Amino acid sequence: MRPGVLEHGYGVGPKLLFRLIRLMSGRPAPDAAKLTFYRPDFYGTHMKTFTQEAMRGRSTWSVGDRELMAAYVSKVNDSPFCVGAHTATATRAYQDGERVAAVLADLDSATIEEGLRATLGMLGKLTSEGTLNADDIRAVLSAGVSRQQIEDALAVGFAFNTTDRLANAFAFQVLSQEGFEAGAKYLLKRGYR
Amino acid sequence: MPAEGEKRSIHHLLVDRILQGPGRAPADQRARAFDNANLPEPLGPLLDKVATKSAQVTDADFATAMEAGFTDDQLFELVICAAVGESTRQYEAGLAALAEAIADTEAG
């Protein structure tokens, strides 16, 4: 990671935790996890709380749907670490890799529910253009998506529009497929706390 | 408190913390990074890329800022402010569009 303090600047507690993770999993802690332990009072504590609420809090979107939204937003942001992490997590949550791959390859032709397609399209437009208008929202409502579901999806968008930028700027190390799958197992069991 | 209220209040706490709380970078620099506006030259290339095309950030962007005297900890904070700032503008634009669409529906 860059700058160097994100590689070497951790206190005794996080260093012990990272060592424990390596011992238990056989892999180093992913950079996404490490970042939240660097001066957590500045960023990590609040961001972990927000992300946990957006991704695992009460919502009528399933965990798989929200992980797919995370992967899709990350693809639009061209964030290889986050695409890998959330493709693996959505795949594991749905137990359906073809569904996830189809959405990431071509949203328009993927065989998914129309409401989910419209919501992913809305998040994609917001991420690439930086804004939405009321007509964009009306199109999603017309596809049968509720107001609350749109609010929930926008929260996922905030979480990953932030995390994708940090993954790219701080140069998170892209993991092996096995590493992403181990991370997915952890995120589905323990969440983002 | 409903779940969405919780998310918005956590978002406010995050934004308030990174902009108003103690930091190694001055609060006015953190605000400029958050707004992606009026950035001094050595920070501009790095922080504008974080906000608008983060996949293009390079080691050289960090090196330029560090040669100008910015520390790792200051850059840690300023990059976070730039990322959260752009994401916040998008989040708020989405919520505002939703509020407008719902208001029209209810009025109609």
- Contact criterion met (CB below 8 Å) for A140 and A50: no
CA–CA dist B91, A151 (Å, integer): 9
- Residue B67 touches chain A, beta carbons under 8 Å: no
pLDDT tens-digit series, residues A121-152: 999 999 999 999 999 999 999 999 999 999 99
Q: How many residues does chain A have?
A: 193
The residue range of the domain holding A116 is 5-190
Q: What percentage of chain A's residues is helix, strand, coil (to nearest 5)? A: 70, 0, 30
Please give the tally of structural domains in chain A: 1
pLDDT at A105: 98
Q: Answer for the pair A83, A71: CB distance below 8 angstroms, yes or no.
A: yes
Global ipTM: 0.97
Question: In this structure, what CATH number is given to the domain that contains residue A132?
Answer: 1.20.1290.10
Mean pLDDT for all residues in chain A: 97
One-letter amino acid for residue A83 of the chain: V
Within 8 A of B88 by CB-CB distance, chain A residues are 158
Mean pLDDT of B65-90: 98
pLDDT confidence band for B108 (50 / 70 / 90): low
Q: How much is the pLDDT for B4?
A: 53
Helix (H, G, I), strand (E, B) or coil at A36: helix
Residues A4-56 pLDDT 10s: 999 999 999 999 999 999 998 899 999 999 999 999 999 999 999 999 999 99
pLDDT of B107 reads 78
Of B14, B72, B93, the CB nearest to A131: B93
The amino acid present at A41, given as its one-letter code, is D
Nearest to B98 among A151, A164, A169 (CB): A151
Q: How far apart are CA A116 and CA A112, in angstroms?
A: 7
SS3 A147: helix
Residue numbers in A near B106 (CB within 8 A): none
pLDDT of A132 reads 98
Contact between chains at B101 and A148 (C-beta distance less than 8 A): no
What whole-number distance in Å separates Cα of residue A132 and Cα of residue A1? 33
